[in-house]
Amino acid sequence: MSFLQAGNIHKHYGGATALQGASLQVQAGEIHALVGENGAGKSTLARIIAGSTRAGQGRILIEGNPVTIASPVDAQRLGIGMIYQELDLFRHLTVAENLIIGNLEFRGGSMEAFCHPFLQQVGLGESARRMVHSLSIGQMQLVAIARALSMNARLILMDEPTSALFEDAAERLFALIAGLKQRGVAIVYVSHKMDEIFRLSDRITVLRDGRNTGTVETAHTSAAAVIRMMIGRDLEAGQRAPRPLGDVVLAVDGLSTAKLKSVSFELRRGEVLGIGGLVGSGRSELGAALFGMDRVSAGAIRRQGTLGLVPEDRRLQGLMMQMSVAENGTMAVLPRLQRWGFLRRGQELAEMRGVAGRLGLHCRSLHDPVATLSGGNQQKVLLGRWLLVNPDVLFLDDPARGIDVGAKQDIYRAIDALAREGKGVILVSSELPELVRCCDRILVLCEGRLTATFTAAEATQEKILAAATSTGGHA
């Protein structure tokens, strides 16, 4: 008998349909991958099972018994926990407070003592008393994973759990998942990373446009077959053509901040420069320093023209979630859209339609709140904002984090096009294949220091990991 059976699940958001009769069956001790393009309904289905969203129609059985899951507390009582893609942490509280708030397993006593084993399991070396807002996105992801482990669930839904984790933290999570499976805990693993899906899962359920397109045994299918089920076509193949490089557009010499330690490099026009490193290595802090958000204590930054930044946390740092798609996309170019102090709405929509077409942005209307879009389309809105600005240097902090394979292709094409236009692009990524695919060179940071520089042809996973874990590498 299945541990979980969710059948004929429907969900509408206003005029938009998220789920149209979707279903999911999960066995005890099974790792079940749930995949699909952004907007296919994966996260909505997971949130309904976890009690954070109410279905419009459908039913859920736990061990054959019908249940009503009206809240996350109901789900927790049934042995269901969830790790959300858009982290649902209380950033003004401590790590310990985030783990124990609403946690039925915490029955009093020392919060730090309760939290310690779960923080150790995920490899988070920070104090349980540290404020969550002071952590990086990757560290926050580990807090969310630790919280789910602390709830002693029999079914854990994981929505893009490695989206902000580098190789070492991801490997630790995979070991945790294997241990949970041995204990009979079921995992619903929502991810766009095919290598993880085929490494971890027993079965794969595919959604497209809110409907099931099939459930297959992982051992009896292929990544290409699953992608066809997801997007209805094969992905484009072929190698990226070489890009000509121009003059130096950005020179950084001995840059030091509270996190960075004497970092130096150059970026040329037409170049995509990758930044690799473990969580907390200083990747995001480099963008903050270049953009003037972190105080620079030493060093020099010389650049030609303007700089744009697509931040790591698109919801908190990048987008105004209740503003429209058009308003979010054009907010950085409002002066040129105004006449006599009034915004020319026609020009605003025309410019936004142009970048929407360029990026493959899918939305019902440019007037809709950006919060109604899928994660991949939200990221395209944020990237579109900087296409309208047309900067000379663009710092992209994990721009493909948590988005589907089709949307990733659109982002990669946009990065290549920007470089071919003579822009200098800095690409931070937690995924080695992404760095190798997109970049001309890759810099590796460890504890705020630059420890290695590789061409894409030279880079291997072993070399990057060695440089990311040792301050004694070569630069």
273 and 397 in a common domain: yes
| 252/296 Cα distance (integer angstroms) | 12
Whose tokens are 């970048």? That residue is: 355
Residue 473 in domain: no
DSSP 3-state of 45: helix
The verdict on residue 22 lying in a domain is yes
pLDDT tens for each residue of 219-252: 999 988 998 898 776 555 555 677 889 999 999 9
CATH number at 176 reads: 3.40.50.300
Rounded to whole angstroms, how far apart are CA atoms 4 and 187? 11
pLDDT value, residue 360: 85
Identify the domain boundary among 231, 258, 290.
Answer: 231
Residue indicated by tokens 């994966």? 42
Query: What's the token pair of residue 121?
Result: 């399991």
Instruction: Please say which residue of 231, 260, 295 terminates a domain.
Output: 231
Q: How far apart are CA 292 and CA 303, in angstroms?
A: 13
Are 13 and 148 within one domain? yes
Please report whether residue 187 resides in a domain.
yes
Verify that 218 and 261 share a domain, yes or no: no
Residue 473 pLDDT: 45
Length of the chain: 475
Give residue 19's pLDDT: 93
pLDDT for position 358: 87
Please report, for residues 22, 65, 235, the alpha-carbon distance to residue 268 in angstroms, rounded to integers and kept in the order given.
48, 62, 30
> What does the block give as tokens for 130?
């540290």
Give the Cα separation of 152 and 277 in Å (integer).
Answer: 32
The rounded distance, in Å, linking the Cα atoms of 428 and 468 is 14
| Mean pLDDT, rounded, of the chain | 88
Tell me the CA end-to-end span of the chain in Å, nearest whole number: 56
- 48 in a domain, yes or no? yes
Contacts of 413 (CB under 8 A, 6+ apart): none
Q: In the chain, how many domains are there?
A: 2
DSSP characters over 166-222? -HHHHHHHHHHHHHHHHTT-EEEEE-S-HHHHHHH-SEEEEEETTEEEEEEEGGG--
pLDDT of residue 239: 54
Question: What pLDDT score does 203 carry?
Answer: 97
Q: What is residue 242's predicted lDDT score, i.e. its pLDDT?
A: 77
State pLDDT tens for residues 215-225.
999 999 998 89
pLDDT at 235: 56
Looking at the domain assignment, is residue 433 inside a domain?
yes
For residue 168, give the 3-state DSSP assignment.
Answer: helix
Question: Which pLDDT belongs to residue 472?
Answer: 47
In angstroms, rounded to a whole number, what is the distance separating the alpha carbons of residues 202 and 30?
Answer: 6
Asked if residue 347 and residue 220 are part of one domain, the reply reads: no
- The residues of the chain scoring below 50 in pLDDT are 472-475
| 292 and 375 fall within a common domain | yes
Q: Residue 85, Cβ neighbours under 10 Å: how many? A: 24
Res 50: pLDDT: 95
123 plus 264 within the same structural domain: no
User: Do 165 and 39 lie in a common domain?
Assistant: yes
Say if 236 falls within a structural domain. Answer: no
Same domain, 173 and 252: no
- The answer on 210 and 275 residing in a single domain is no
Residues 262 and 317 in one domain: yes
- The last residue of one of the domains, among 176, 206, 231, is 231
Residue 68 lies in a domain: yes
Q: Are residues 75 and 171 in the same domain?
A: yes
Half-sphere exposure of 356 toward its Cβ, with a 13 Å CA cutoff?
Answer: 19
Residues 227 and 255 in one domain: no
DSSP category for residue 340: T
Structure tokens at 446: 């460890």
Contacts of 293 (CB under 8 A, 6+ apart): none
Q: Which residue, 267, 252, 251, 256, is CA-closest to 294?
A: 256
Q: Is residue 475 part of a domain?
A: no
How far apart are the C-alpha atoms of 453 and 444, rounded to whole Å?
Answer: 6
- Per-residue pLDDT, 142: 86
| Residue range of the domain that includes 442 | 248-468
